[in-house]
């Protein structure tokens, strides 16, 4: 019989690519990961990994078993959710990860809502820009993240749209377009730019939007903090493109012609979407969003 705990180890190896990274995700030593994978090979009676020195990669049989591991793990999560539905009471904890402006605008207000709608639920909040890997590794129960463009949908995740918002341009004092009601990005082709660091999805949005407008942005300063970006713009460091809800309290903000959009959604692992604790948090998030001025 196959031990489902070992299937989680195999799934982690497929996700992270190395024994060391899989062990870090599962809080296991590399030695323990290797032992679990060797035991799994004995259970199935087939070689699941190619080994060369310290490098390992999946065999065809290993890739096949990973597909089944995904289904098995989802069913186990679904079983836990169903058991929780029938359990008495609705007390427990939910671990949520979200990026900073979503915490400010949505998550924190949702916690206030839950004090009256679900007082038995304790929410632990993590500030994280890239939370989907944390969700798949089981570190959190719910991820609030962004999707800027269509991409292949991971069948292990259930998405719930929360809200969408445009990006606005932030201009320095005395800028030639300071009096414009709306800014066309092509008119900023010769400006210096303040942008997020490489790897931040908002930087990808900026670069792609500028390329669509016919130029490559000349990035002079970088920060992953939107208010730091706005401060650099105010100091004359360049112009910036920032999501609207991150700009409250910032001056010299201008709507953009045909702006790019930040689409925010909540994600849970498939099989846990009906868990009553997660349902309670999602309900509070929707209530908080409805109450937000937009």
Q: For the domain that residue 243 is a member of, what is the CATH number?
A: 3.40.190.10
Residue 294: what pLDDT? 55
The answer on 268 and 151 residing in a single domain is yes
Residue 90: what pLDDT? 66
The answer on 193 and 144 residing in a single domain is no
The answer on 240 and 177 residing in a single domain is yes
Nearest by Cα to 171 from 194, 154, 149 = 194
Strand 157-170 vs strand 253-254: parallel, antiparallel, or unpaired? antiparallel
Domain closes at, from 63, 85, 107: 85
Along the 294 residues of the chain, how does pLDDT read in single tens digits? 899 899 999 999 999 999 999 999 999 999 999 999 999 999 999 999 998 887 899 999 999 999 999 999 999 988 888 777 656 446 788 999 999 889 988 999 999 999 998 888 889 999 998 899 999 999 999 999 987 554 556 889 999 999 998 999 999 999 999 999 999 999 999 999 999 998 788 898 899 999 999 999 999 999 988 889 999 999 999 999 999 888 776 777 899 999 999 889 999 999 999 888 999 999 999 999 988 765
The answer on 95 and 224 residing in a single domain is no
* Count of the separate structural domains present in the chain: 3
Residue 233: what pLDDT? 95
The answer on 183 and 69 residing in a single domain is no
This prediction has a pTM of 0.74
Residue 253: what pLDDT? 87
Residue 293: what pLDDT? 62
The answer on 199 and 169 residing in a single domain is yes
Radius of gyration of the chain (CA): 23
Domain closes at, from 85, 119, 150: 85
The answer on 283 and 245 residing in a single domain is no
The answer on 252 and 177 residing in a single domain is yes
The answer on 204 and 247 residing in a single domain is yes
Range of the domain at 283: 90-161+264-291
The answer on 141 and 56 residing in a single domain is no
What gap in Å lies between CA 161 and CA 140, rounded to an integer?
A: 18
């Amino acid at each position: 019989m196959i031990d489902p705990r070992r299937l989680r180890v195999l799934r982690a190896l497929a996700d992270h690519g190395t024994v060391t990274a899989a062990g870090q995700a599962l809080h296991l030593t590399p030695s323990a990961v290797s032992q679990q994978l060797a035991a799994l090979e004995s259970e199935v009676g087939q070689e699941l990994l190619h080994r060369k020195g310290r490098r390992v990669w999946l065999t065809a049989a290993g890739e096949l078993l990973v597909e089944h591991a995904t289904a098995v793990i989802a069913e186990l999560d679904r079983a836990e959710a169903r058991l929780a539905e029938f359990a008495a009471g609705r007390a427990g904890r939910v671990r949520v990860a979200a990026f900073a402006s979503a915490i400010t605008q949505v998550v924190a207000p949702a916690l206030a809502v839950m004090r009256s709608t679900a007082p038995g639920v304790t929410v632990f909040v993590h500030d994280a820009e890239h939370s989907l890997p944390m969700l798949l590794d089981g570190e959190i129960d719910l991820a609030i993240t962004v999707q800027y463009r269509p991409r292949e949908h991971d069948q292990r995740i259930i998405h719930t749209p929360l809200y969408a918002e445009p990006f606005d341009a932030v201009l320095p004092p005395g800028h030639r377009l300071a009096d414009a009601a709306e800014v066309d990005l092509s008119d900023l082709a010769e400006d210096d730019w303040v942008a997020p660091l490489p790897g931040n999805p908002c930087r990808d949005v900026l670069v792609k939007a500028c390329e669509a407008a016919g130029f490559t942005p000349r990035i002079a300063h970088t920060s992953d903090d939107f208010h730091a970006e706005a401060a650099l713009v105010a100091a004359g460091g360049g112009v910036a493109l920032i999501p609207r809800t991150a700009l409250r309290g910032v001056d010299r903000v201008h709507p953009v012609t045909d702006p790019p959009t930040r689409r925010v959604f909540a994600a849970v692992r498939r099989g846990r979407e009906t868990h009553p604790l997660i349902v309670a948090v999602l309900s509070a998030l929707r209530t908080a969003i409805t109450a937000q001025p937009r």
